[in-house]
Amino acid sequence: MKALGKIHVTVWLLGLAGAALFTILLIRQGLPQVGAAFAAAGWAIAAVVAFHFAVPVFLDALAWWVLFPKSERPALLQLLWMRWVGESVSTLVPSAAVGGDIVRARLAAISGTPLPMAAASVLADITLGVFVQIAFTLLGLGLIVSVTGHRTFVGPTLVGALIGILAVVGFYIVQRLGMFRFIGVIISKLANSPEWHSLGQSGDTLDQTVRKLYARRSGVVGCCLWTTISLVLGSGEIWIALRAIGSHATLINALILQSVILTIRSAMFPVPGALGVQEGGYLIVGNLLGIPGDAAFALSLIARVRELALGIPGLISWQVIEARRLLRTRLAATVR
């Protein structure tokens, strides 16, 4: 309990620090100027929201869908809903971004997918997704150097990418070796209780399912391919926003911003919603690309509105499902 309390305090402190940074950056760019740039987007903000759901969220769901063996594959629309809810949790709930992945694995299991397959598919999706995102980060880095000539962050980014690649490869290897059975056996021995002895067997089942997914080359390649397409085409929403606020919009600029912002959000996941950090990223990269500070900050605000417009309904949808399950459980207990 003490450890959980410390984690909660840390999350709140990081959230407050992010909010302070957000406020400072907004004041420095000028509230009236940022407000005017944001207002200039008008109804294009709705187009950004629709585009995000129709393209990145759908393609991410498709990347997850192809990982499943055909005989155990849920309906694509079901996974689209789960992916939407998972992203809503990751962006709006003040916890580590991995919370959304846990939720979508749970929803997959609730919908009838065997628990080992639900968990294994999410683990494989995360692992492959991180690998693809590292490559996307390097693409963005190359484009920044090509477009602006700035090489300041080449060294740190390459070091970070190398560390990330080693971490992903290491995580992949331990998954293939069977990490979950080992963890389950250790916990059951430490707990020294019959109720925990099944963890070893459960872990072994999960390990076998993970190996089964990685053995399907078509699934692995398909997941990487659709994730790559999602990341590249996802920059379209930034291009729409740039055009809407009257800033210089090129697909290359949008791709660079998409790459850098996703990298920042991934690296700074302990900060709830990457508040303040995301805005700083838009300002720094926007400055390199010749985008005025107020317009760059407005871009981040548009992204925030998109998160709320899609995230709030996603969270409500999730809570309705959980409330129904809880009600059915209580009614069943009452009948007994």
- Whole-Å CA distances, 142 to 13, 64, 137, 146, 148: 35, 28, 9, 6, 10
Which pLDDT belongs to residue 197?
Answer: 46
Q: What does the alpha-carbon distance between residue 262 and residue 254 come to, in Å, rounded to a whole number? A: 12
Which pLDDT belongs to residue 150?
Answer: 64
Residue 193 lies inside a defined structural domain of this protein: no
Residue 18 lies inside a defined structural domain of this protein: no
Which pLDDT belongs to residue 221?
Answer: 94
Residue 275 lies inside a defined structural domain of this protein: yes
* Count of CB atoms situated within 10 Å of the CB of 336: 5
Average pLDDT, the chain: 81
Q: Is the pLDDT of residue 15 over 80?
A: no
Residue 30 lies inside a defined structural domain of this protein: no
**Number of domains making up the chain:** 1
What does the pLDDT average to over 37-66?
93
Residue 201 lies inside a defined structural domain of this protein: no
Who wins on pLDDT, 46 or 187?
A: 46
90 burial type by CB count under 10 A (0-12 exposed, 13-18 middle, 19+ buried): buried
Q: What does the alpha-carbon distance between residue 11 and residue 19 come to, in Å, rounded to a whole number? A: 12
- The confidence band for 17, taking pLDDT boundaries of 50, 70 and 90, is confident
Residue 249 lies inside a defined structural domain of this protein: yes
Which of the residue ranges 76-80, 166-170, 224-228 would you say has the lowest mean pLDDT?
166-170
- Whole-Å CA distances, 48 to 51, 84, 244, 316, 334: 5, 15, 10, 21, 47
What is the per-residue DSSP string for 32-59? Answer: HHHHHHHHHHTTHHHHHHHHHIIIIIHH
Residue 84 lies inside a defined structural domain of this protein: yes
Q: What does the alpha-carbon distance between residue 265 and residue 261 come to, in Å, rounded to a whole number? A: 6
Query: 286 is in which domain, residue-wise?
Result: 41-177+216-335
Q: What does the alpha-carbon distance between residue 56 and residue 136 come to, in Å, rounded to a whole number? A: 14
Residue 8 lies inside a defined structural domain of this protein: no
Span 299-324, pLDDT tens digits: 999 999 999 999 999 999 999 988 88
Which pLDDT belongs to residue 99?
Answer: 78
